[in-house]
Amino acid sequence: MGLLKVQKDGPVTTLTIDRAETMNPLGAPGDGDEFAAACTAINRDMETRCVILTGAGRAFSAGGDIKAMRDKSGTFGGTPPAISDGYRDNIHMMLRALHGLRVPVIAAVNGPAIGLGCDVACLADIRIASEKAKFGVTFLKLGIIPGDGGTWILPRVIGMSRAAELFYTGDVIDAETAREWGLVSRVVPHSDLMDEARALADRIAAQPPHSLRQSKMLLRQGQQVGYDTALEMAANTQAMMHMTEDHAEGVAALIEKRTPDFKGE
């Protein structure tokens, strides 16, 4: 059964985790390949300037497939080395693909985002939550650890102390607490979630595509490198941006007091 529903509408592509009848579990065999194919296509499509990631039905994603864990099947079956390879070759492929998207990603969290589902949401650049959203990293309650790199992801979003609290207790927090903790940017009425996400995506998509992609790259790299390296990267990238037609258009539009028309040139 397929995982993703892909819908392109102008410069915005929406990826919907589409297993609504089982609260959108992740990690079935083939999920990594499907995510990788979708994200590779988006990266190669210069018309796409922003991605919205959401879930079908009442959940964003309830995380790993509990029944597969019980039955020790699929990614969660076999010997310990086989399970390790299942994570590397499937779950990690999915996460790497999402993390490797070159355009901004908005997670429109429509309901529970638990375990792997929470960490997937945290790989987005921006998170908007429905009032029905909930967040938790409940791995320890299942007698396992965050096998998806969540111990790297979550502290970068909400800080070490709060990430540790969530990991060690397995607590699930509501949307307002998530907003207070900086896990999401805003909480909106459930019925308005996708409209709010699309309005934000349209504002992002109005930016020049090359500068937009390079800004995302610099934001990501800025979390890993020293200040001197960040400055050098900025100088070199900026030199390239000064040579683009979009830069000339932006300057002209500002001087002429009109809305710029960026074409990715």
Output the domain CATH number for residue 170.
3.90.226.10
Cα angle: 82, vertex 84, 85; to 5 degrees: 65
Please indicate, yes or no, whether residues 72 and 178 belong to a single structural domain of this protein: yes
For the chain, give the secondary structure using H, E and C: CCCEEEEEECCEEEEEECCHHHCCEECCCCHHHHHHHHHHHHHHCCCCCEEEEEECCCCCECEECHHHHHHCCHHHCCCHHHHHHHHHHHHHHHHHHHHCCCCCEEEEECCEEECHHHHHHHCCCEEEEECCCEEECCHHHHCCCCCCCHHHHHHHHHCHHHHHHHHHHCCEEEHHHHHHCCCCCEEECHHHHHHHHHHHHHHHHCCCHHHHHHHHHHHHHHCCCCHHHHHHHHHHHHHHHCCCHHHHHHHHHHHHCCCCCCCCC
- Does residue 223 form part of some domain? yes
Give the Cα separation of 229 and 168 in Å (integer): 35
**Which parts of the chain have pLDDT scores under 50?**
none
Q: Which residue has the tokens 């529903």?
A: 5
Closest CA to 116 of 76, 82, 81, 78: 76
Give the Cα separation of 181 and 203 in Å (integer): 25
Please indicate, yes or no, whether residues 127 and 243 belong to a single structural domain of this protein: no
Closest CA to 108 of 13, 247, 42, 33: 13
- Does residue 79 form part of some domain? yes
CB atoms within 10 A of CB 93: 17
Please indicate, yes or no, whether residues 139 and 49 belong to a single structural domain of this protein: yes
- Does residue 264 form part of some domain? no
Provide the domain limits for residue 240. 209-256
Please indicate, yes or no, whether residues 161 and 60 belong to a single structural domain of this protein: yes
Give the Cα separation of 23 and 128 in Å (integer): 19
- Does residue 265 form part of some domain? no
pTM (two decimals): 0.94
Please indicate, yes or no, whether residues 227 and 198 belong to a single structural domain of this protein: no
- Does residue 262 form part of some domain? no
Please indicate, yes or no, whether residues 83 and 170 belong to a single structural domain of this protein: yes
- Does residue 61 form part of some domain? yes
pLDDT score for 1: 56
pLDDT score for 164: 97
Please indicate, yes or no, whether residues 134 and 71 belong to a single structural domain of this protein: yes
Please indicate, yes or no, whether residues 215 and 185 belong to a single structural domain of this protein: no
- Does residue 263 form part of some domain? no
Tokens representing residue 104 in the block: 């901004």
134-136 and 112-114 beta bridge pairing: parallel
From first CA to last CA, the distance across the chain in angstroms is 40
- Does residue 140 form part of some domain? yes
Q: How many structural domains are present in the chain? A: 2
